[in-house]
Amino acid sequence: MVHYLDHAASTPARPAAIEAMARQLVHGYGNPTGAHRLARAANRVLDESRDIIADALGATPGEVIFTAGGTEADNLAILGTLEARGGIALCSAIEHHAVLDPVIHTGGVIVGVGSDGRIDTEQLGRVLTPEVSVVSVMLANNETGIVQPLGEVADIVRRRAPQALLHTDAVQALPWVDVADQCRVADLISISAHKFGGPQGVGALVARAGVSLVPRLRGGGQERDRRSGTQNVAGIAAMASAAAETVAERQAQVVRVGALRDRLVDGLTGRLTGVVESGNRQDKTANIAHLCFEGVESEALLFLLEKEDIMASAAASCSSGAMEPSHVLAAMGFSRSLAGGSLRLSLGYSTTEDDIEAALAVIPPAVRRLRERG
Ligand code: PLP
């Protein structure tokens, strides 16, 4: 039996989402821009899904732009704003590459974080200039789970650069944070379905009323001319179904999963020496255990864990499969060698006590074995 502790990379699809997707693919295959009955039915599903996503994110339906995932939503937020308004972008040093790379590519500004993994708000205030047109600070980090002080960031942006839009990458946050409440201060919000029990390759960007973006994709003018291309109706229906369930059970899951995560981290730090937890646990989403093991290489540890059916990851997963040193840990001041022994165990709605017991049984001897090997 597989013990899946990699929910921050991708979550297993919720049964209700799979059902919604299958229903659409089998019966609802009309193109939502068409005029006949099947097309109108598909369009109705889009409308209903848009209402659900808007509700989950504290937005109005007209503010929701469906995309092909979190990366596209982040790129549209940053590049679409830069093209519409000119100026430069600014983001924190711990953003996902879907934000970091567009900001760097366009000559933007990067703001550091403290050793606690939270954005350096003093530095943010200092580097905000009238030239900055979009600021991007994520709600929850994908490696450490650390939740950023978005309200404080918004205050500083409004004070120092009132012309700038605030974007937040909330891709990791929906199951653990009240996004509708926390993101009230944001002009642009990105989400991705496969982080909360929906399918991969579908997501959304909220762009508040009055925020204009230059589209990245041009064509049929779907999504009110902000994102052309026939919508992935089946994927969107599944995302909406997963979002509704996720939001409905959030409070209970935060308590349940938070207790499992604490048992896991306390169990590992109690059984092993030379373990460093990144940041402060009270700043983190309830599902992430992120630890660095002295004298261990992540890759070797992951290999041993996989042999015992524990699925985890070292840092952000990356397409090449090669382990790059984590830019998040580097920004927090971790040495290269300590960062090289990082392990992210990310829990989710389907995680059980069994999964935690298995991890507690497997990880300590694996770490000891690698240390003995030197
Ligand atoms: N932003 C964050 C914080 C993420 O964790 C991820 C996925 O790992 C993305 C963006 C990219 O989302 P997607 O995989 O849907 O393109």
Could you tell me the residue range of the domain that residue 85 belongs to? Answer: 15-245
Output the average pLDDT for the chain.
96
CA of 70 to the centre of ligand 1 (A): 5
CA of 323 to the centre of ligand 1 (A): 17
pLDDT range class, residue 86, cuts 50, 70, 90: very high
Residues 226 and 274 in one domain: no
Contact 213, 84 (CB under 8 A): yes
3-class state of residue 201 by DSSP: coil
Residues 36 and 127 in one domain: yes
Distance between CA atoms of residues 367 and 316, nearest Å: 21
Residues 162 and 297 in one domain: no
CA of 361 to the centre of ligand 1 (A): 30
* Residue where a domain stops, chosen among 221, 245, 269: 245
| DSSP for residue 207 | E
End-to-end CA distance of the chain: give it in Å, rounded: 30
The residues annotated as belonging to the active site are 318
Distance between CA atoms of residues 324 and 304, nearest Å: 19
| Per-residue pLDDT tens over the stretch 114-161 | 999 999 999 999 999 999 999 999 999 999 999 999 999 999 999 999
Q: How many angstroms from the chain centroid is the CA of residue 220?
A: 29
Distance between CA atoms of residues 1 and 244, nearest Å: 29
- pLDDT(26) > 60: yes
- Find the residues whose C-beta lies inside 6 A of ligand 1: 69-71, 74, 96, 98, 138, 142, 169, 171-172, 192, 203
Residues 126 and 231 in one domain: yes
Residue 374 has what pLDDT? 75
Query: Where are any strands of DSSP class E within 47-142?
Result: 64-67, 88-92, 109-111, 132-136
* Residue where a domain stops, chosen among 245, 279, 296: 245
Which residue's CA lies nearest to atom 12 of ligand 1? 70
Mean pLDDT of 77-95: 98
Name residue 186's amino acid: A
- pLDDT(12) > 90: yes
Residue-wise burial string across 231-258, b where 16 or more C-beta atoms lie within 10 A, e elsewhere: bbbbbbbbbbbbbbbbbeebeebbebbb
